[in-house]
Structure 1
Amino acid sequence: MASRCRIVVGIPTRGRAPILRETLTELARQTRLADEIIICGAEAIDSEGIAEAFPAVTVLTSAPGASTQRNAIIKAAAEADILIFFDDDFLADSAYLAAIESHMTSNPRLMVATGLVLADGIGGPGLSPAEGRAILAAAGTVTDGTKPTFSGYGCNMAVRMAPMREHAIRFDDRLPLYSWQEDVDLSRRLAVFGDVAKLEAARGVHLGVKRGRGSGVKLGYSQVANPLYLVSKRAGYPMFRALEHIARNMAKNLARAGWPEPYVDRRGRLRGNLLALRDLAAGRMTPERVLEL
C-alpha cells in the first residue's frame, strides 16, 4: 500500500472570486483531503470572501501573472511532497487527490502527473459550475490507467517537490500575464528526472470561464513569442513543437477573424500574432513585450 505524503493544492487566481469559491467547495468533498490549500491572487478583490467561507485556506498575494503567482505558491508550500496546481475554474472529482497520491507515492519516477479532463470549456463559451458538476456526476466508472504525456496541463497538474527544491526549478517569470506555455516548460524541465504521465483516475472538468482573462492582442503575441523563447532556453521544448503550436493558433485566428466566436477576440489574437512576427523580424521579440502592448 502506498504511504501517505503531504499534499498541497495551489490555485493562482485573478478576478474570479465567485468561481474560486465553487472550486474550493469541490475540494472540500475530496475523499483524500489536501493537507493545505494555498490560493494566490494579485490584489485583495481576487480572494474576496474566501477567508470567511474557507478559514483553513491560506491566502497570498503577489505581482500578477500566472508564473509569478504559481512561484509564490511554491515558496509557501515549502513542506509539501506533492504540489497540485488547479486553475480557479477546475472542478475536481472527489477521488482526484487520492488518485494522485496513490500513483506518485507508488512510482517514485513520476515527476509530473496530469488528470483526465472530462470536459474543457476553454474551447467554447465556457461551462457553468452546475454543468461541470453534472458532467462529473455522469462520468461513470473510473479506470486507473496511466499513459505517458508530453506535459502536464496547467489547469490540473501535480508536481513532485523534491527535485524542484533540489534543482531550484520554478515557473519562468519571464512569461508574464497569462504565461502561455509555462506548464509545458516546467514539465519538460522536470522530465529530465523521471516521467510525465496522464492519470485516468484523476478526473475533473475545466469550466473555461472567460471572465478575468486578458486581452486578445497580448495573448496572440504570447502565442508566438513564448514558444520561440522556450526553444531558445534549450531546456526540453523542441522547435518542431513551437512551430506546430504557432502555426495551429495563427491558422485558427486567421480563419475565424472574419466570423469570430462571441467569446474569443480572434482579431485581437491575430493582431498580436502579427506584432510578434514583426518584432521577430526586427530582432526585438521577447515574452515581456506583451507588457508594452
Structure 2
Amino acid sequence: MLHTRNNAALTSPGSQGGDELKQVSVAVAIATAGRRDTLSQVLGELVHQQRAPARVAVCPAKPEDADLEAFARLPFKVDVVSGPVGLCAQRNALMRHLSDVDVVLMLDDDFVMEPHYVGECADLFARHPDVVMTTGEVIADGIMGPGLELADAQAKLAADRMPGTERLRDVHNGYGCNMAIRMAPVRAHGMTFDERLPLYGWLEDVDFSRRIAEYGRIVKSQRCRGVHMGVKRGRSPGKRLGYSQVANPYYMWRKGSLSARFASIQMARNLASNFGKMLRPEPWVDRTGRVRGNLLAMSDLVRGRIDPQRARELS
C-alpha cells in the first residue's frame, strides 16, 4: 500500500489555506486503449489521494477496454465517455464531458500519482491564476525501458521524498502522461486536441501546450509527483509510430505550433535513435518497424504528399 505523509508538513509556502483550495475543482481524465487491467489498477490507486478528484472520467477506444464491473467496486463514480478511436479524439471527448470543472488533469492509463497530487494541483492553480497548464515530476518513467509493474510504482512512490517548498519552473510543454489543463481558456477559445494527429497522437501534448501557451504560463511542479509505468500494451505498431515521428512534427511546423528548430530536432533525434539501434534493438521496441515508417514518411515528404493521417493506413 502507498505510504501516507503528515498533511501539515505538506503545506506549500504561500498557500492561502483550505478555503482557497475549495475554489478549484480538479477532474481526472484518462483516455485508454488496450490496457483494461492496467486502467483498473490505476483507478484503484485514486483511493489514496488525500484530496479526492471532483470527478473521474475515462474514454476507452473500445468498450472492452473498460472493466465496468471493476469500476462498480470502486468507492467513487467513474464516468465512461464514448468517443472516436485516437488519443486526441478521446481526450476531446473527455474535455467536452468535463467542461464544467476548473481543471482537467489528463493522465495516461499507466500513470500512478503520489497521494497528494490532486491536492497540490488544485493548490497550484488556485495560487497562480496566470498558469494555464501544469505538468508534474515523473520520479520514474518506464517508457525509457521495458516498463514497470504496479508494485514497482508503489515501491518508488513509497521511497520518494517530496520537496519542502514548491519551485515552479516554466517549461515549453506539458508531458502527456500527466498534464493538468485550466478549462477557462479551453472554453473561451474552443480549444481542442488536433485530431489530425491520429492514433497514438505523437507530440499531441506539445501541440496543445504551445497553443494554450498563448493564454498563460505552462509550469512544471515538483510537488505533483508520480510514476509513469510505461506499459507497452496498447501502443501503436512500429511502422505507424515511425511515420508519425516524421509526419507529425512536420505538420505541426507547417501549421505554426512548432518552430522549425524544435520540429527538426524532434525528427533528427527519432531518426538517429531508430537507425542507430536497429541492428541491436531493445526487446520492447520495434526499431525495424519504426525505421520503415521513418523512410516512408521521408519519401512522402520529398514527394510533397506527407500527411499525419496516412499512419492510419499502415500496419
Larger Rg: 2
Q: Which amino acid aligns with 1:62?
A: G
Q: 1:264 aligns with which of 285, 289, 297?
A: 285
8 Å CA contact 2:40–2:71 kept in 1: the answer is no
Work out whether 1:95 is the aligned partner of 2:111: no
* Match of residue 51 from structure 1: 71
**Structure 1 residues 16-31: aligned runs within 5 Å:** 16-31=35-50
* 1:51 Cα offset (Å): 3.2
What is the aligned partner in structure 1 of residue 266 from structure 2? 245
Q: How big is each residue's C-alpha offset from its partner over 1:148-172, in whole Å with a ceiling of 9 and x where there is no partner?
A: 1100000000000000000001100
Q: Does 1:15 align with 2:34?
A: yes
Is the partner of 2:93 in helix, strand or coil?
Answer: helix
Question: 232, 241, 253: which is aligned to 1:231?
Answer: 253
Distance 1:92 1:268 in 2: 33
Q: What CA distance in whole angstroms lies between the structure 2 residues aligned with 1:19 and 1:61?
A: 19
Distance in 2 (alpha carbons) for counterparts of 1:33 and 1:241: 37
The residue aligned with 2:3 is none
State whether residues 51 and 59 of structure 1, in contact with CA within 8 Å, keep that contact through their aligned partners in structure 2. Answer: no
2:104 aligned counterpart, secondary structure:
strand
Query: Equivalents in 2 of 1:229, 1:168: separation in Å?
Result: 21
Match of 1:71 among 73, 89, 92: 92
1:120 to 141, 148, 158: 141
> What SS does the aligned partner of 2:223 have?
strand
Do residues 285 (structure 1) and 306 (structure 2) align? Answer: yes
* Cα offsets for 1:53-108 (capped at 9, x unmatched): 33610012221110000000001002110000000000000010111111111111
Partner residue in 2 for 1:185: 207
Q: How far apart, CA to CA, are the structure 2 residues paired with 1:278 and 1:194?
A: 38
Q: Is the counterpart of residue 172 in structure 1 residue 194 in structure 2?
A: yes
What is the SS of the residue equivalent to 2:106?
strand
Query: For this pair of structures, how many residues does the alignment match?
Result: 292
- Native 8 Å contact 1:114 1:153 kept in 2: yes
Structure 2 gaps of 5+ residues are: 1-15
1:212 aligns with 2:234: yes
Counterpart for residue 149 of structure 1: 171
Report deviation, 1:26. 1.5
The alignment partner of 1:28 has SS state of helix
Q: Which amino acid aligns with 1:129?
A: L
In structure 2, the residue corresponding to 1:248 is in which secondary structure?
helix
Percent identical: 43
Corresponding letter in the other structure for 1:124? G
Alignment partner of 1:111 is 2:109: no
For 2:222, the equivalent position in structure 1 comes to 200
Moved more, 19-28 or 255-264: 19-28
CA shift for structure 1 position 219: 0.3
Distance in 1, Cα, partners of 2:242 & 2:228: 22
Would the aligned equivalents of 1:6 and 1:79 in 2 still touch at CA under 8 Å? no
| 1:14 partner amino acid | A
Where structure 1 has 5 or more consecutive residues not aligned to the other structure, the ranges are none
What secondary structure sits across from 1:197 in the alignment?
Answer: strand
Q: Structure 1 residue 142: deviation in Å? A: 2.8
Quick one: distance in 2 between partners of 1:287 and 1:251?
Answer: 20
What's 1:35 paired with? 54
Say which SS state the counterpart of residue 48 (structure 2) adopts. Answer: coil
Kindly state the Cα deviation for residue 7 of structure 1 after the two structures are TM-superposed.
Answer: 1.2
**For residues 191 and 118 of structure 2, what CA distance do their matches in structure 1 show?**
23
CA deviation after TM superposition for structure 1 residue 277, in Å: 0.3
| AA of the residue aligned to 1:52 | A
Distance 1:159 1:122 in 2: 23
Name the CA distance, whole Å, in 2 between partners of 1:231 and 1:91: 32
- TM-score (norm: length of structure 2): 0.91
Aligned alpha-carbon RMSD (Å): 1.0
Output the amino acid matched with 1:41: P
Runs of 4+ in 1 over 3 A off after TM superposition: none
Query: Aligned partners of 1:157, 1:73: CA distance in 2, in Å?
Result: 14
Tell me which of 158, 164, 178 is aligned to 1:137.
158
Could you tell me how far apart the structure 2 residues matched to 1:160 and 1:266 are? 37
